[in-house]
């Protein structure tokens, strides 16, 4: 009888423990990377290689850049495929995408890499005008097709988007741009995940596409853990992959601990 009571007591104790273990206590292994406008996910390869060697399951989003809604849907589609807690990373315009898509239940943290981070009702186009970048001050750098798709003048791309990349690489990227619908930059957000989820931000100190002061302002408002990379261009994820991967890794470990509380 005493043995039976002991077994029942032990079983009850196990039941209590199981109810207090957080649902998000499982290890964070999933990282989703979101690229910015005019480029594609292949630029993440140097960061991807570092993160996968560290044991992370890394997936890139290839957004179509046909509309903000389409791009957010593309990100959510990839998030739906993740099998647990996920760190969501966005570069440049990708920051707006992760801000909107980051409310997804799988997302436990956000990383902004030289990125926009608007609030609900805001759009990055209007915010960019408050702190103009070198790009914004360079006449004729942004071209537009008759059907309202934008791209960077290939002659300006290397010096504005990727001055710290090898010239041949920058020129190739200038000729392989993904044209972005003009409306993607001016669509107000309906969600701001950084309000409810921890975030990290990387400032590219020599960014000519987004004013570095605007990046600092975004991250300060979001209370992001901020890292500045000196001399880095807008292509910081390609030119400084080790530093970017280090921030992402630290964010993943920190987000995992926070989610387990």
Rounded distance between C-alpha atoms, residue 47 and residue 41, angstroms: 11
Write out pLDDT tens, residues 203-221. Answer: 999 999 999 999 999 999 9
Strand order in the sheet with 149-152: 142-144, 149-152, 180-181
Count, residues in the chain: 261
Residue 25 pLDDT: 58
Asked if residues 115 and 234 have their Cβ atoms less than 8 Å apart, the reply is no
Rounded mean pLDDT, 125-146:
97
In Å, what is the CA distance from 209 to each residue of 65, 124, 143? 17, 12, 14
Confidence of residue 256 (pLDDT cuts 50, 70, 90): confident
DSSP annotation of 120: B
The C-alpha angle 163, 164, 167, rounded to 5 degrees, equals: 70
Mean pLDDT of the chain: 92
The tokens for 92 are 């440049």
Write out pLDDT tens, residues 27-50. Answer: 899 999 999 999 999 999 999 999
Residue 11 pLDDT: 47
The C-alpha angle 205, 208, 211, rounded to 5 degrees, equals: 65
Rounded mean pLDDT, 221-231:
98
In this predicted structure, which of 15-24, 97-106, 119-128, 159-168 has the lowest mean pLDDT?
Answer: 15-24
Residue 237 pLDDT: 98
Residue 260 pLDDT: 78
Rounded mean pLDDT, 84-94:
98
């Amino acid at each position: 009888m005493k043995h039976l009571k002991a077994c029942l007591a032990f079983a009850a104790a196990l039941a209590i423990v199981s109810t207090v273990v957080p649902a998000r206590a499982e290890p964070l292994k999933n990282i989703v990377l979101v690229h910015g406008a005019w480029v594609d996910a292949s630029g993440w390869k140097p960061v991807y290689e570092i993160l996968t060697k560290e044991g992370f399951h890394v997936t890139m989003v290839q957004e179509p850049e046909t509309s903000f809604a389409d791009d957010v849907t593309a990100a959510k589609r990839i998030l739906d495929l993740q099998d647990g807690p996920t760190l969501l990373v966005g570069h440049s315009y990708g920051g707006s995408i992760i801000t909107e898509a980051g409310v997804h239940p799988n997302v436990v943290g956000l990383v902004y890499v030289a990125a926009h981070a608007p609030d609900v009702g805001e759009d990055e186009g209007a915010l960019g005008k408050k702190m103009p970048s070198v790009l914004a001050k360079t006449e004729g750098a942004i071209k537009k097709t008759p059907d309202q798709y934008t791209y960077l003048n290939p002659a300006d791309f290397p010096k504005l988007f990727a001055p710290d990349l090898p010239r041949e690489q920058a020129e190739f990227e200038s000729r392989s741009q993904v044209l972005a619908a003009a409306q993607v930059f001016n669509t107000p957000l309906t969600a701001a995940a950084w309000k409810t989820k921890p975030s990290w931000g990387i400032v590219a100190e020599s960014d000519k596409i987004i004013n570095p002061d605007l990046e600092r302002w975004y991250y300060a408002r979001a209370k992001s853990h901020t890292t500045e990379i000196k001399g880095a261009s807008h292509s910081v994820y390609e030119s400084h992959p080790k530093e970017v991967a280090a921030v992402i890794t630290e964010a993943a470990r920190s987000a995992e601990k926070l989610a387990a509380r």
